Amino acid sequence: MRMFAIKGMFITVIASFFLIIMGLLYFMFTLWIVKIGASFILPEMWKSGSIQGSFIVLAAALMSAGSMIASSMQRG
């Protein structure tokens, strides 16, 4: 019984690590998409530097959070 609990905890730690890594990769990909989209949609503002990086990060964070919340909801 004790070995089963240790094995289960080890699997949980490994799965949590991979989920955190996948979440970071997804956020970085979303951040890249928002950055490229902003440079295409607003090229003058992008070149002048008036688009701040904090707004790009905020947009990517909202998109990532929204998609994760929507994917966790189950139909039923």
Q: For residue range 3-56, what is the model confidence (pLDDT) as tens digits?
A: 888 888 999 999 999 989 998 999 999 999 999 998 888 888 888 888 888 888
Region at 52 (left for phi over 0; alpha for psi -120 to 50; beta for the rest)? beta
Dig out the tokens for 10 from the structure: 């080890």
Q: What's the pLDDT score for residue 11?
A: 92
Predicted TM-score (pTM) of this structure: 0.72
Q: Is residue 35 a contact partner of residue 73, using CB atoms and an 8 Å limit?
A: no
Total number of domains constituting the chain: 1
Range of the domain at 50: 23-71
Q: Read off the pLDDT of residues 10-24 as tens digits, 9 standing for 90 and up.
A: 999 999 999 899 989
